[in-house]
Structure 1
Amino acid sequence: DELMQDWAGRGVELVAVATGWRFQSRPEMRQFLDRLHPEKPPRYSRAAMETLAIIAYRQPVTRGDIEDIRGVTVSSQIVKQLEDRGWIEAIGYREAPGRPALYATTRQFLDDLGLATLDQLPMLDGPPTAAVFDPGSAGQPSLLGDEPGQVALPLDEQPEDGDVIADFEPVFPTVEVPLAPTASLTTEGAAEAFPPADVPAADDPSPATLA
């Protein structure tokens, strides 16, 4: 506390993070630091951010759990991208057919967010979820209705037929290209552009009659 008070009012501050303590610039100094060292933060796709959020709030989860929540297939590239960034890791395997890997966030994830514990994550809008990670919990909640506990296996017990993650390919953000405006015709314009065809009168002799 004394050290924190000594640095109060300066450009940097001493804060507690998941891995210990660190000095970091104060938020109000960011605009000046951006001028000195302009850097573009890495951009991640929406699918990657949704996957990371589900893991952070519902960990430990499998890829199947994430797919059930998002309603779409989770790409192996997204999982590997988050692992390479150091934000998630496999902590074990669920005792289920195929023994899928269980993913959870890392201390690096908390450090990058400037947090000390998962309890400091912002609350989600909506009904509370009972599957939020609790380090002191005796069992691990499952999104598939499994009994708590008996779900995670040690990492040293590697599955014989484990999933192989494909080589990472950068995930580029989707670019939306506006469509050209479609031309609209009014009733009068349509009549001018497409005049009605001449329809022969009923009493006109047809070719069959002339023959």
Structure 2
Amino acid sequence: MNTQDAKRVLEAALICADQALSMRDMQTLFADELSPDCLRDVLTELERDWGSSRGLRLVQVATGWRFQSQPDVQVYLDRLHPEKPPRYSRAVLETLAIIAYRQPVTRGDIEQIRGVGVSTPIVRQLEDRGWIEVIGHREGPGRPALYATTRHFLDDLGLQSLRQLPQPLQPAGPDTVADTVADAISVALG
């Protein structure tokens, strides 16, 4: 298959996909006819072709590649679906921020940093959203669950890795970290 045909097929697959396509998915799409290097080259070309002059752009997120709208056209797209995205309480955002920056953490760790208890509905809401999961249990009394963020969390924020999370402006205590990340997550979620 030549590069131009591969580019057309890949572009169609990415536009029609309901979620990000991993490199493995794209290899399957071409029945391993394209080498991983050739596939990366095609993705680079598509990324360049769909630059800032169009309403969509090709981006890499934690689980693979996907097309998403340019930020400047999002206000227009929101008119098609006027329902408001869910609003998250400050407690939910702080809990998520602590997990994102300090993972893996237990509920007790979160409560110690926040200075207040973490209610079960807060943890359940984050789990139901697919943003956090239990990745193990800490050795010790009661073997508390260890929480960490998921790849779905990174995808929803448009990130490839946790290293892309915003850093606190000044080195300070855990409250600053929680506030900074809570604010960044709040902005990213609309």
- Identical amino acids, percent of aligned pairs: 73
Q: Map Cα deviations across residues 1-38 of structure 1 (whole Å, 9 max, x no partner).
A: 11111112111000000000000000011111122222
**Pairwise mapping of residues 126-145 of structure 1 onto structure 2 (< 5 A)?**
126-127=170-171
Does residue 78 (structure 1) correspond to residue 122 (structure 2)? The answer is yes
Using the TM superposition, give the Cα deviation of residue 121 of structure 1 relative to its aligned residue in structure 2, in angstroms. Answer: 0.3
Are 1:3 and 2:46 an aligned pair?
Answer: yes
User: Which of 136, 145, 151 is matched with 1:92 structurally?
Assistant: 136
The one-letter amino acid paired with 2:145 is A
Indicate the SS of the match to 1:116: coil
Larger Rg: 1
Q: What 5-or-longer segments of structure 2 have no aligned partner? A: 1-43, 175-190
2:89 equivalent among 21, 45, 49: 45
Deviations 1:56-97 (A, max 9, x none): 011000000000001111101110110000000000000011
Q: Helix, strand or coil for the counterpart of 2:77?
A: helix
In 2: Cα distance, 1:129 partner to 1:114 partner: 27
The alignment's TM-score, normalised by the length of structure 1, stands at: 0.59
- The correspondence for 1:103, drawn from 137, 142, 147, is 147
1:69 maps onto 2:110 in alignment: no
Aligned CA-pair RMSD = 1.5
What is the aligned residue count?
A: 130
Q: Tell me, in whole angstroms, the C-alpha distance in 1 between the residues paired with 2:165 and 2:99.
A: 12
Distance 2:79 2:171 in 1: 42
Q: 2:98 is matched with which residue?
A: 54
Corresponding residue to 2:80 among 31, 36, 46: 36
1:128 Cα deviation from its structure 2 partner: 6.7
Amino acid at match of 1:85: R
**Counterpart of 1:119?**
163
